[in-house]
Amino acid sequence: MPKNEIFNTKNIVRLALVAAIYAALTLALSGLSYGPIQLRFSELLVLLCFYRKDYCVSLTLGCLIANLFSPFGLYDIIFGTLATAVAVIPMYYMPNIWLAALLPIVSNGVIVGVELFLCGEPLWFSMGTVALGELIVIGVVGCPLFKFALERSKPLMRAIGASRPEPRKSAEV
């Protein structure tokens, strides 16, 4: 992606909008977004990083903003934001969206699970429930939604500014 494209107004607005949507959705559904058992539906947006790598910045920022309001305070600001950053940075380089989805499931399960343990929750229970929540939101809902709705719509792919090349058709043998 050329440098001039990263800093153009349209792209900055797109990135800011995604960060704002992530934070607003997390806060609007705060009862489901925080705690040892969580379904953070804003996590669906992390799959955007599979299509365009500069979404890593906006999603990490959106997570940081949402975690400023977390009942777990500084722990969530540090660990929750770290879990998102660790997950989204390599997503663009994954060969398919299904493998990319494993990154936030594992990183949030482990890192947020440890965070919750430091806050007094049982370690394995926290890791398991956070990973399960991520699996439901990203794996069961997000991947099919992105794969079968977003990828099949050229206008939607243009709207998100997808920079990933079109998937290659496998040659028939």
Task: Give domain status of residue 170, yes or no.
Answer: no
Q: Which domain holds residue 90?
A: 3-159
Sign of the torsion angle spanned by Cα atoms 19, 85, 94, 140: negative
Residues in the chain: 173
Task: Give domain status of residue 172, yes or no.
Answer: no
Task: Give domain status of residue 167, yes or no.
Answer: no
Task: Give domain status of residue 171, yes or no.
Answer: no
Task: Give domain status of residue 67, yes or no.
Answer: yes
Split the chain (173 residues) into runs of 10 and give each run's mean pLDDT.
73 94 97 93 96 95 97 96 97 96 98 96 97 97 93 90 62 42
Domain harbouring 42, CATH code: 1.10.1760
Of 101, 77, 82, 81, the closest CA to residue 91 belongs to: 101
**For 163-172, what is each residue's pLDDT tens digit?**
765 554 444 4
Task: Give domain status of residue 112, yes or no.
Answer: yes
Task: Give domain status of residue 55, yes or no.
Answer: yes
**For 77-99, what is each residue's pLDDT tens digit?**
999 999 999 999 999 999 999 99
pLDDT of residue 173: 39
Helix (H) or strand (E) holding 81: helix 81-88
Q: How many domains does the chain have?
A: 1
